[in-house]
Structure 1
Amino acid sequence: MNGHAPGRPSWAELASPDAKASREFYCSLFGWYVYTLTIPEYDDYDIFTLGGVQGPEVAGMQRLADDAQPPSWTVYFRTDDILATVAAVKAAGGQELVPPMRVSDLGEMALCADPEGADFALWVAGNLKGAGVVDEPGAMCWVELACHDIDEARRFYGDVFGWEAVERRYHAPYTNLKLDGWSFGGIVDIDDLRRNGYEAEPHWIPYIWVEDCDAIASRAGELGGRVLLPPTDITPGRYAVLADPAGARLAVIAPGAGGLAEAR
């Protein structure tokens, strides 16, 4: 990837209370490499890559500034006009959590929340265009919102980003999110997840493409993580939802024959 279209997911960022432990977990789980950027007037920032220090970027990591904040993954969506997008978030009923700010020469970011409180970030690319690789093993390939009111989420994100929502059915009803005819993520009913023992507030998570979902879920447990939703077959492939040792949630999927391409 040499760039991402406005309105599309472009980056995923981990907020961790223990950067060393997180580096060890994710590098062992996905085979990632990690290096640290020293950014003037900011804390150090870690970049996860595929294939060593020269490999393409797959995700980032920052240190939690407050121990009271929960460890989490944040999904970033690309925009060309961060002030206009923040204004659209507010007009549609969302909140601005962190106002637009420049991050050295990397780009500009803002942190927002939708009407149910699920947070997401906005990104205007500078020298960091976003993920340098997607839709390959070890890289982000999908993003997903878990919420209570799917109709309200469809309205909100449609107003903010112009997304189209399409109904699908995998093992349960599912909403695919599309932009310019291409599906990049989805919405799932969080109450259905809770009935399966998955306790969480509304949130976004990234999906990482893996070659063997069961092996990765087992490996996550060996490394101190947890399996929140066990490996399950759906039309696009086999997926699981995991938590790292600090509790940050993310999902993995091993696409089946025609899997993600068919979904898109």
Structure 2
Amino acid sequence: MPEVTSPYQPGTPCWVDLAAPDQQAAIDFYSDVFGWTGQIGPAETGGYAVCELNGKPVAGIMAAMAMNGQPPPPTVWTTYLASADADATSQAVTGADGTILMPAIDVMTLGRMCIAADPTGAVFGIWQPVDFPGAGIVNEHGALIWNELNTTEPTAASAFYQAAFGIVSEPVEGADNYYALKVNDRPVGGMQPMSEQMPADTPSHWLPYFSVADTDATVAKVTAGGGAALQEPFDMMAGRMAVVTDPQGATFAVINPKPMDAG
């Protein structure tokens, strides 16, 4: 079981969460699709649900609530990048022409977080862990396996993430216009230009990938549960994948990864 036993290096995607208009319906949907367990949390956490897989935290689901007269947040998955100091990272974000959408706040004794956007408009979170490091299990059925930046301006995005987080982007051999995002020379995510298949008004965004044992069977569960397939299952260099939406409109990808080459 690929449990996470060491801290996430700064710049590494460490957590994902979803803001959904109907929180309980979202918990039920993902529990059915991925085998998660979760329940609406206590009032002091705003009802935030930490969903688990095999007893380990795997993702968060919260109610999409309007705050301070603002409209409710969009129904999207948010990728969080690890930070050793959320306030310093916030300053680095603004210094690299990014935007802080929600200033850094303490989340009880769990950690410190903020929400930001890169210069191309992709929204992401920053997580400075204290008692809660992030996802406790990855890279197996129902768990996060990859985070991908789809951006309108790869050059600007590459410069931003290197300046703000030290993330280095390198072209992937054999994959046209696809870049590996590396922390300490280890791939932690990917980046590509916005696909022409996406609607013209689609903003730059981070897309989470969840590992599955059977892509086609998982997509069948998604559609049976009221979701939809944006890209039907297809084979590519990393495995068999699909891009789907849940019943409330949040987009995510699923992939049955090819076995890693030994040696």
Tell me whether the two structures share a fold, i.e. TM-score over 0.5. Answer: yes
Q: Deviations over 1:14-54 (max 9, x none)?
A: 111101110111000001111343252x4111011112xxx
Task: Name the structure 1 match of 2:58.
Answer: 58
Aligned length: 255
Structure 2: unaligned runs, 5 residues or longer: none
Q: 1:232: Cα distance to partner?
A: 1.6
Task: Name the structure 1 match of 2:102.
Answer: 98
CA distance in 2, matches of 1:82, 1:258: 34
Q: Deviations over 1:171-211 (max 9, x none)?
A: 642111111121111112114343xx686211112110101
2:188 to 178, 184, 187: 184
CA distance in 2, matches of 1:257, 1:123: 30
Match of 1:192, SS? coil
Q: 1:68: Cα distance to partner?
A: 4.2
CA distance in 2, matches of 1:29, 1:199: 29
CA distance in 2, matches of 1:91, 1:238: 39
- Aligned residue type for 1:28: D
Task: Name the structure 2 match of 1:15.
Answer: 19
State the identity %.
35
What's the TM-score, normalizing by structure 1?
0.91
CA distance in 1, matches of 2:107, 2:42: 11
Task: Note if contact 2:27-2:38 (Cα within 8 Å) is conserved in structure 1.
Answer: yes
2:86 to 76, 82, 85: 82
Task: Note if contact 2:15-2:135 (Cα within 8 Å) is conserved in structure 1.
Answer: yes
Relative to 1, partners in 2 of residues 1:169 and 1:143: Cα closer, same or farther, differing over 3 Å? Answer: same
Structure 1: unaligned runs, 5 residues or longer: none
**Superposition map of 1:209-220 within 5 A:** 209-220=211-222
Question: Which 4+ runs in 1 deviate beyond 3 A?
Answer: 169-172
Task: Name the structure 1 match of 2:145.
Answer: 141
- Aligned residue type for 1:210: V
What's the TM-score, normalizing by structure 2?
0.91
Matched, 1:239 2:236: no
CA distance in 2, matches of 1:171, 1:164: 17
Matched, 1:48 2:64: no
CA distance in 1, matches of 2:132, 2:174: 35
- Aligned residue type for 1:123: W
Relative to 1, partners in 2 of residues 1:170 and 1:13: Cα closer, same or farther, differing over 3 Å? Answer: farther
- Aligned residue type for 2:108: S
CA distance in 2, matches of 1:199, 1:244: 20
